[in-house]
Structure 1
């Protein structure tokens, strides 16, 4: 039987407030016609989806003690083992507004600031978890007090322990993290553009710069391209998935759902094609829902059937 255990590292959880409106008018009063408030942050989203799929998830990182209750309830609901380190202060709030055209506007606030002693505690915790787990996922942004170099150090330690490390971040965190050579990285187009320092203007550029990441020594480079699907480079060969058409309600969490699906494929030793088809279908469902939930089995099978995977 396959080892279904995974550790998700979420350094900067957030309370996600999502809202839908007809059109965002800057400088004017805007009225939201539907809204939702959930515990989030990229790592929390990944852990939630992975646990719903069937993984035995341990979630670690940092969480603000002042407003941790919403997160704790969600961890219990999904059977997530809570190894989050409580710190003084509140978790940040992310405001996400989607208009009738599907355009997403995000406003992210700051949360707690971490003392150096707390960082040492996480390093010790990861060292202990490495004795009993082989799959680790680092997903999301860095809170105040955590440097990208420190993040890269944690990744490097686990890689040197022979662990499978999946990595999803942006900006300086992504730049330093990829140099630690995780097993898989999953930038989206925006994050890949940030890494190369200029906008991407063609698919050829996406393939070129994705290959540059792989050339560092990273086995799997996955680039999520929104409605255009997902590109995955392994062993010098690109594969592409084309998702089924769905009614887009909210794109928040779609990338995190994709990461969870990719990790589930790794945990089960699925083929690249099967993993890509499953994770793309899962992410397609995510954009059709307001929260981060997996579809019923019948619907998921239908979405997988409607997802196309082929060589580039």
Structure 2
């Protein structure tokens, strides 16, 4: 299997809470509570390791509460190459309600000293040789500016390694300008880049293809219950997930990215890759946690995932680029 590095610059201890309908300003009872050493890149790493890849995790980790992370890395078979920084890694609360609504309460993260960022860049130089891909996921902590992220992507791309990016806001804008190999925005994030609403499937398709034309080979657009659009080198494929009961959407996007990378790195066809990734993401929302490829009914979910050519759905007579 492939050798992959995931970078999480702003990891978190994720406190996942399942509740009844949330009543603001009142006492609410949780139905379940779970605390995980997480962060988007770490979530991607867990799925990739579960699928058989050799995965190294790196980034910036608070030294004062690292125990849960160290234990998780050992349990999941991940190679720990994190730079430790002073202070505590943040705690993010994710509240899931029965109707599928998820409310995130995310902390900013510990401030990163300039020396720690330099140490990370030096460590990456020793890690990048022989890698098949790097996945950079999540927000930026205080002390790491969007231009730092862009420089990091440029540095990795200069070493001829594939770089996939999943972030948002100013970090996404700066990251896109550095031309990673692939990106995984949602519709809101892609609309922010495009500068106008993407309120139709065709508008989403055109924006994704425009990113392809700008030099980003793969655009994996996650659309929640509406599925996934994958624009790859000017060719598009869409997937509709099977209908499932939603418990929590936390980690669904990370599962989608990891499963897509799995297919790409395994040399699968686009159809097989997107079908697998969409089904595994759908599996993940049925429970708290990441997608389980060993779920007893995963084959049924896979067969119920529908693929289609989105270009065939464009209305005839429209003037498309």
TM over 0.5: yes
The structure-2 alpha-carbon separation of the partners of 1:298 and 1:32, relative to structure 1 and needing over 3 Å to count, comes to closer
In the TM superposition, residue 268 of structure 1 has moved relative to its aligned partner by 0.8
Q: 1:59 aligns to what SS in structure 2?
A: strand
Match of 1:283 in 2: 281
Within-5 A mapping of 1:47-66:
47-66=45-64
In the TM superposition, residue 273 of structure 1 has moved relative to its aligned partner by 0.9
Match of 2:240 in 1: 242
Distance 1:161 1:250 in 2: 38
RMSD of aligned alpha carbons: 1.4
Q: 1:50 aligns to what SS in structure 2?
A: helix
From 285, 308, 311, the equivalent of 1:310 is: 308
Within-5 A mapping of 1:121-132:
121-132=119-130
Contact 2:93 2:105 in 1 (8 A): yes
Match of 1:258 in 2: 256
Query: Which segment drifts farther, 115-124 or 186-195?
Result: 186-195
Contact 2:132 2:265 in 1 (8 A): no
Distance 2:197 2:253 in 1: 20
Distance 1:150 1:241 in 2: 34
1:114 aligned to 2:116? no
The structure-2 alpha-carbon separation of the partners of 1:166 and 1:128, relative to structure 1 and needing over 3 Å to count, comes to same
Distance 1:124 1:301 in 2: 43
* Structure 2, unpaired ranges of 5+: 311-321
Query: Which segment drifts farther, 195-204 or 56-65?
Result: 195-204
Cα deviation, 1:5-33, whole Å, max 9, x if unaligned, reads 10001111101111122212222222222
* Structure 1, unpaired ranges of 5+: none
1:88 aligned to 2:86? yes
From 224, 227, 250, the equivalent of 1:226 is: 224
The structure-2 alpha-carbon separation of the partners of 1:231 and 1:113, relative to structure 1 and needing over 3 Å to count, comes to same
In the TM superposition, residue 297 of structure 1 has moved relative to its aligned partner by 5.8
Q: 2:220 aligns to what SS in structure 1?
A: strand
Report how many residues are paired: 310
Match of 1:33 in 2: 31
Contact 1:231 1:239 in 2 (8 A): yes
The structure-2 alpha-carbon separation of the partners of 1:75 and 1:182, relative to structure 1 and needing over 3 Å to count, comes to same
Match of 1:176 in 2: 174
Distance 1:198 1:216 in 2: 18
